[in-house]
Structure 1
């Protein structure tokens, strides 16, 4: 089913480990016994496949920064628990999963998200995830409004994954604002509130956004503390 899909080139520098897996790579034998414990016997096949290829992508990404044979368990917020001194992110949608990791000496946090463009996106969520300024950008071009909403949603997913290790909790979609720059295919992000020391109101960051086949994916990293 994924034949000919190809792959995504890492959007990060060489200090980061990055990997993409597809449903064609699905094999529960790739999982460690500790990881399998998080899969309910009642889990539907789609859920099993997503979890499996996501963990497989994470294992592959870790191997690229010379970390091997480390099971990726789940935390209290369902976040992946990385090896000590490592930050990372996993995302899956449709037939693919992406993972990126780095040592904390190279990044304080990593954001990564992938969304399938042809999945149903409802404009009803605009008030839940967009500031007034973001919403104005989303609807400025009616023919692109759903794709733009998906871009904002994905970028915000990436951002709160990146900030998570700094707080051990997810920030709200409305605690930061994104401004799109077409020339660089990046969102400029700005915190609208103080989340912790060193990351106060007005702190800025960048979220890249690219297309791949029928997917949109976003990515970012925070400078090491």
Structure 2
């Protein structure tokens, strides 16, 4: 499998990152050994696309961690499938249709990071999935977002994915899309408030900011929890 160090995005969070393009259709199981990564037993029976995505994400993570002086570190998965980072490191991994990215930091003030790359949904998908991703009380803010962007639901979906990743390390339990409510946006930010108490330090009404950028029919969202 070809993995090429190229990035369509320049993340807005000031942390170490690696982004790569990869070719899932060229994946072979020997690629794990080639990139010095173990093939997890849980993925042995997975389809080639899933294995390729996992491998590309882990290669990004390993190279980003090397810049933080954690060479040869293998990012394993916990039982809940979350990445296991070195002690003192926060990070996040994402992949979408041949693009993978990882971001890491060893700043002790950072409690969590979340990034997500998505390819834009079709108009049909956006209509079909609105009820699963949006709250009824997001209608006004969502309409405003739609006046500035052709694929507003993709942006909100990606943002809520990044929020989940950023907060999960502290929350340590699943929470759904309805736990965060879009309230406003600007050219580079979407602002959300929590609609549920996810943790004693994350009560209802907590504001969560998400950076976003759209390039080449894709969106990158980034969320910082500190």
Match for residue 75 of structure 2? Answer: 72
What is residue 17 of structure 1 aligned with on the other side? 16
Q: Is the 8 A contact 2:9 2:220 kept in 1?
A: no
Tell me by how many angstroms 1:102 deviates: 1.6
Aligned length: 218
Contact map agreement 2:90 2:112 (CA 8 A) in 1:
yes
**What is the alpha-carbon distance in structure 1 between the residues aligned to residue 63 and residue 5 of structure 2?**
21
Deviations 1:29-74 (A, max 9, x none): 21423x443431x332211211111111111221222222111111
Q: Superposition RMSD on alpha carbons, in Å?
A: 2.8
SS class of match (2:151): helix
CA distance in 2, matches of 1:38, 1:3: 26
Contact 1:54 1:90 in 2 (8 A): yes
- Using structure 2 for the length normalisation, give the TM-score: 0.84
Q: Which runs of 5+ in 1 are unaligned?
A: none
For residue 50 of structure 2, give the secondary structure of its aligned residue in structure 1. Answer: helix
What does 1:1-225 correspond to in 2, within 5 Å? 6-13=7-14, 16-23=15-22, 27-28=31-32, 29-33=34-38, 35-40=39-44, 42-103=45-106, 105-117=108-120, 121-139=125-143, 147-182=151-186, 184-223=187-226
- TM-score of the pair, normalised by structure 1: 0.84
Identify if the C-alpha distance between structure 1 residues 118 and 153 changes in structure 2 by more than 3 Å, giving closer, same or farther. closer
**How many Å separate the matches in 1 of 2:7 and 2:169?**
31
Distance in 1 (alpha carbons) for counterparts of 2:140 and 2:206: 22
- 3-state SS of 1:74 partner: coil
SS of residue matched to 2:46: coil
Structure 2 distance, partners of 1:123, 1:43, is 30
User: Structure 1: how far apart are the matches of 2:58 and 2:3?
Assistant: 18
